[in-house]
Each structure stands twice: as C-alpha cells, then as structure tokens.
C-alpha cells in the first residue's frame, strides 16, 4: 500500500470548503453523542453503533453514505487511540483560534478515475469523480506527478493545509515496481552534510538557514500568510532533495546500510542542535529508504554505528583518529598506521557498510 499526495486545482476550493463544513457537523454530532452515551452507560460507541445514528443523513448534508461511515470509523479509532472520552470539536470558522483544517474521506466505492492528460512535455493533469449524496457527483482536477493511470486506487482523503490549499491523499494497492541496482552503499548521517555515502555522494540540507532572513522579515512584519508560505517552501524543498537523493541510491544499489543515529538523541531540552537536526531530515530519509527499498527489492539495513567515525576503514586502527567534541571540527585526518587520508564522513560510511555486510554474513557487527 502506498499513498500519493496530489494538489487539487484552486477552482474547487469553494465547494470543498462547503463540504468540509458538513464533515465537521457529522464529527461534532457523533462526538457529542458518544460522550453522552458514555456518561449514561459507561460504555463507548463503536463505529458500527454510530452508523445506525447517522444512517440516512447523507442526503441532507450532501455527503455519500460511505463518507459518513468513514468519519464514524475515524472517530472511534482516534478516541480509542488517544484514550479520550471526547475528542476536540471541529470548526471551519476562519476567525476561530482552533480552526480545523478541512478533511473529506472517501472509500473505494465512491471514487472513479476518469482520465489523465498531458499539460506540457512532463506535466500531467488527472480527473477523479467522487460520489456525494444521491445522484450528486464531484469531479476534481489534480496536478498529477505520478500518472494515476498506472495505479489501482483504493481510498482517497481530501485534506486542506494552512494556506487553504487542497490535496488528494490517494492510497493505491498496486504501483509500478522500480528496479534496484547491483552495488552496495553505506550512509553516514550528520549535520554538516545530512547524509554521506561510501561512494562519496553527499546530501546537504540547509533550507532553514537559507530562508532564515526572509522568515525573520515576515515574522517582524507579522505577515502570517508570508510566514506560512516560507515554511511550506522549506518543507517542500527539503522533501524534494531527499526524494532525489534516495531515488538515485535505489537505482544504483542492491544493499543500503544506515547508522542507527536517532533524532531524539540530539533534541533534548538542554541541547542546542534541535533546529539543525530537524533540518537534516534523518527520519524522512530513513522513511523514504524503507518503502522505496521494499518496492524495488533492495536490502535495507540499520546498524550500530559505534566507533565508525574513529576507525580507519582500511586498516582498522583507532589511535590517530579525531575523538570527542573537540574532534568534531576536524573533517579530514590521516591514519598514522597506514597513511591513508580520510574524509571523516566518507570513512564513517565505509565502516557502516562493512558492519552491514558482516551482519548479513555472520549476524553480528565487527565494530
């Protein structure tokens, strides 16, 4: 299962805003109903119970019966997940401090793929038809970067972001398999370079620093729309860089090994590296590698990276390598035993790859 996120054309905004108001009405109704039932009986409503109370309301609200059932299922699942007797209310009032972003769930029976057509040499535009109340249909145009004609659509959730832009999050059952390469690569995660491979490729993500001045100007001017636009730009460009980097890795390698460094190790309350760590995108990098490797049939390993920076990848000596916090500023060093000149990050990634290969053969790392 895979989720595709596609931008919906702005001409549909008014209609989607109206429909999201109906979804919020259903949510608030079942939220109140469930809470009162709990007070009276001490028992929670299941999604099946809620379906009985909302049956037939689709014609009045302009929503498909499957959409209302999806709302009931999400409410029951969220209440159980967060262990709450009552969830937050949803409102589409733009003046409210807790304005809820729009959300419209659709099941497979309410979705029909219409067509995909080219808008330029590389651009595609697809059309989906969504069923609403009895006999009512909603045709939405999407900016398609995946080519939906190649996929089998399962479910679709229409969601809104803070800039009032709408997206279709489409889950697909079957999707084209990507072929992996024949090589192997180790990846060292860091802050100066977000990721460095044993082949010498480096991923540098400094998007927060790049847009820091523009963001500060917008914040001092209290221009909320500009602030949201800059944050979205930072997020989207970071995602794009990671996607290109991970796709290139998959196409070249059959084995990818990454160190087990975790974001939480550097983002404690006393730490000063939180902004740099979040900007590096380690979690997103691992997430993309996980599902892309699974799709392409590539082996993906996460190994213990202990001492991989301090060990010479040629002779295994640790006596002359930089150590401790003071040694972090040293980016290149020469091994005193074999005389090999090392790039700190590339050397670490080679050691990480060696640990991964040992794990595959023996089941335990050698470092």
More confident residue, 311 or 248: 248
At residue 277, does pLDDT exceed 90? no
Of 19-33, 64-78, 323-337, the least confident = 323-337
At residue 366, does pLDDT exceed 50? no
Q: What is the pLDDT of residues 301-318, one digit of tens each?
A: 988 888 888 888 778 777
pLDDT of residue 325: 62
pLDDT of residue 326: 61
At residue 153, does pLDDT exceed 70? yes
Residues 233-250 have a mean pLDDT of: 92
CA-CA-CA-CA dihedral for 68, 70, 74, 80, to nearest 10: 90
More confident residue, 168 or 271: 168
pLDDT of residue 175: 64
Q: How far apart are CA 13 and CA 18, in angstroms?
A: 9
Phi, psi of 344 (to 5 degrees): -55, -45
Tell which residue, 95, 92, 93, 118, has the closest CA to residue 103.
Answer: 92
For the chain, the average pLDDT equals 87
Q: What is the band of 339 on the pLDDT scale with cuts at 50, 70, 90?
A: confident
* Tally of CB atoms within 10 A around 153: 18
pLDDT of residue 288: 92
pTM of the model: 0.77
pLDDT of residue 154: 92
Residues 40-53 have a mean pLDDT of: 92
Q: What is the band of 121 on the pLDDT scale with cuts at 50, 70, 90?
A: confident
pLDDT of residue 159: 95
Q: How far apart are CA 282 and CA 238, in angstroms?
A: 11
pLDDT of residue 271: 58
Q: What is the band of 361 on the pLDDT scale with cuts at 50, 70, 90?
A: low
Q: What is the band of 367 on the pLDDT scale with cuts at 50, 70, 90?
A: very low
Burial of residue 270 (CB within 10 Å: 0-12, 13-18, 19+) is exposed
Kind plus residue range of the DSSP H or E element containing 79? helix 65-82
Q: What is the pLDDT of residues 204-227, one digit of tens each?
A: 888 888 899 999 999 999 998 899
Q: How far apart are CA 7 and CA 9, in angstroms?
A: 7
Of 110-114, 260-264, 306-310, the least confident = 260-264
Q: What is the band of 365 on the pLDDT scale with cuts at 50, 70, 90?
A: very low
* Percent of the chain at pLDDT exceeding 70: 93
At residue 333, does pLDDT exceed 80? no
Q: What is the band of 364 on the pLDDT scale with cuts at 50, 70, 90?
A: very low
Domains of the chain (ranges; CATH) run 1-176 (no CATH), 183-362 (3.30.420)
pLDDT of residue 340: 78
């Amino acid at each position: 299962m895979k989720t595709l996120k596609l931008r919906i054309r702005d001409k549909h905004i008014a209609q989607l805003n109206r429909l999201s108001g109906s979804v919020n009405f259903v949510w608030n109704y079942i939220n109140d109903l469930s809470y009162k039932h709990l007070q009276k009986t001490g028992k929670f409503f299941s999604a099946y119970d809620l379906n009985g109370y909302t049956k037939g309301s689709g014609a009045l609200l302009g929503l498909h019966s499957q959409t209302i059932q999806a709302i009931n299922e999400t409410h029951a699942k969220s209440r159980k997940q967060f262990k709450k007797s009552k969830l937050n209310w949803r409102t589409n009032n733009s003046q409210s401090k807790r304005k809820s972003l729009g959300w419209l769930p659709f099941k497979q029976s309410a979705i029909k793929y219409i067509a995909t057509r080219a808008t330029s040499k590389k651009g595609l535009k697809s059309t989906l038809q969504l069923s609403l109340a009895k006999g009512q249909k909603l045709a939405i145009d999407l900016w398609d970067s995946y080519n939906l004609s190649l996929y089998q659509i399962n479910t679709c959730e229409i969601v809104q972001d803070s800039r009032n832009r709408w997206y279709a999050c489409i889950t697909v059952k079957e999707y084209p398999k990507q072929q992996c390469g024949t090589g192997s690569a180790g990846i060292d995660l860091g802050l100066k370079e977000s990721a460095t491979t044993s082949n010498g490729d480096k991923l540098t993500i400094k998007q927060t620093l790049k847009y820091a001045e523009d963001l500060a100007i917008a914040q001092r001017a209290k221009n909320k729309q500009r602030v949201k636009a800059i944050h979205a730009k930072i997020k989207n460009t970071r995602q794009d860089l990671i996607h290109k980097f991970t796709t290139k890795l998959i196409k070249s390698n059959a084995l990818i090994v990454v160190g087990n460094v975790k974001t939480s190790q550097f983002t404690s309350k006393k730490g000063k590296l939180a902004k740099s760590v979040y900007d590096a995108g380690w979690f997103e990098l691992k997430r993309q590698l996980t599902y892309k490797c699974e799709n392409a049939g590539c082996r993906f390993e996460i190994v213990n990276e202990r001492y991989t920076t301090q060990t010479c990848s040629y002779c295994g000596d640790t006596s002359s390598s930089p150590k401790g916090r003071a040694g972090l500023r040293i980016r290149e060093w020469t091994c005193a035993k074999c005389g090999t000149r090392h790039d700190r990050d590339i050397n670490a990634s080679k050691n990480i790859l060696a640990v991964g290969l040992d794990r595959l053969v023996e089941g335990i790392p050698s470092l």
